[in-house]
């Protein structure tokens, strides 16, 4: 079934509609998602075609090792915290004795050094804890945008090896913002088209937008005619698919 999508560029009342272009709709943004950690896929949380919000879970990886690393890092940080408090108490006592001339300077310096070492050890342990929390969070692949799931290219049980390849696990697209793309004959090219107000009509529905890109590189189209790219951006709230046949009408200045 063939649909007709008409994109009209709005110009002044004296403009004449003179150029008809064939084109298509496309997603303004599509993202290929992969994993930062090597692990086995544990579960798929979405289906192709499903709408998702930013932060929604797409799939999970097996995280036993990552959870163990986190537990170990947390235990180390928890164990070092009391030592810092104890070294601080020792330093305060040493300072008090020194002020009473009851403690040599070298002993005060040793107490201060012990406290500094304890604090440094705790900071290092807390940094390891933060790193372990980060890597555990990478076992969950979440959508970075509001949009739609275009592809899931993995399955439960599949082992993802980040050292061997950079495999795409899922593709999501922003289906709330769409592009209407066409080739503009070079003789009709004008930089004044950029940011021109535009409206998109599909089956008696209108979507307002503007020209966001006009090409600056000439190519020879299928009809052997020199042309350049033109893109109109519209907000659709997910109500138009990609690859929809397009008829674009541009006013000739």
Per-residue pLDDT tens for 229-246?
999 999 988 888 899 887
**Do 132 and 215 lie in a common domain?**
no
Number of domains observed in the structure of the chain: 2
Residues 81 and 91: their CA atoms lie apart, in Å, by: 16
Residue 143 lies in a domain: no
**Do 28 and 117 lie in a common domain?**
no
Residue 98 has a CB neighbour count (10 Å cut-off) of: 16
Range of the domain at 27: 5-60+148-252
**Do 93 and 211 lie in a common domain?**
no
**Do 111 and 231 lie in a common domain?**
no
78, 103, 137 — which closes off a domain? 137
Q: How confident is the model at residue 3 (pLDDT cuts 50, 70, 90)?
A: very low
- Average pLDDT rounded to a whole number, residues 78-86: 96
**Do 163 and 234 lie in a common domain?**
yes
91, 117, 137 — which closes off a domain? 137
Judge whether residue 59 has pLDDT over 60.
yes
**Do 162 and 201 lie in a common domain?**
yes
**Predicted TM-score (pTM) of this structure:** 0.79
Tell me: the pLDDT tens digits for 100-133? 888 889 999 999 999 999 999 999 999 999 999 9
Bridge partner list, 178: 27, 234
CATH number at residue 100: 1.10.287
**Do 68 and 184 lie in a common domain?**
no
Instruction: Look at 6-10, 166-170, 178-182, 205-209 and tell me which has the smallest mean pLDDT.
Output: 6-10
80, 113, 137 — which closes off a domain? 137
Residue 142 lies in a domain: no
Residue where the block lists tokens 């993802």: 160
Which sign does the torsion angle of CA 182, 183, 186, 187 carry? Answer: negative
**Do 124 and 216 lie in a common domain?**
no
């Amino acid at each position: 079934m063939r649909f007709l999508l008409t994109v009209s560029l709005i110009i002044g009342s004296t403009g004449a509609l003179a150029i008809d272009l064939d084109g298509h709709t496309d997603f303004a943004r599509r993202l290929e998602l992969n994993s930062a950690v090597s692990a086995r896929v544990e579960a798929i949380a979405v289906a192709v075609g499903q709408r998702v919000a930013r932060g929604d879970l797409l799939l999970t990886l097996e995280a036993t090792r990552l959870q163990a690393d986190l537990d170990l890092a947390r235990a180390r940080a928890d164990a070092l915290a009391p030592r810092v408090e104890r070294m601080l108490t020792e330093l305060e006592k040493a300072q008090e004795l020194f002020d009473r001339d009851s403690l040599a300077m070298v002993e005060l310096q040793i107490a201060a050094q012990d406290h500094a070492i304890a604090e440094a050890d705790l900071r290092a342990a807390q940094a390891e804890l933060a790193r372990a929390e980060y890597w555990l969070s990478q076992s969950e692949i979440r959508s970075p945008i509001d949009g739609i799931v275009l592809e899931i290219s993995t399955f439960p049980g599949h082992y993802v090896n980040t050292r061997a390849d950079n495999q795409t696990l899922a593709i999501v697209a922003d289906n709330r913002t769409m592009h209407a793309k066409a080739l503009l004959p070079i003789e009709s090219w004008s930089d004044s088209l950029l940011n021109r107000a535009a409206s998109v009509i599909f089956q008696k529905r209108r979507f307002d937008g503007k020209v966001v890109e006009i090409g600056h590189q000439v190519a020879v189209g299928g009809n052997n005619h020199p042309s350049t790219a033109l893109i109109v951006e519209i907000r659709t709230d997910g109500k138009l698919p990609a690859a929809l046949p397009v008829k674009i009408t541009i006013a000739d200045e």
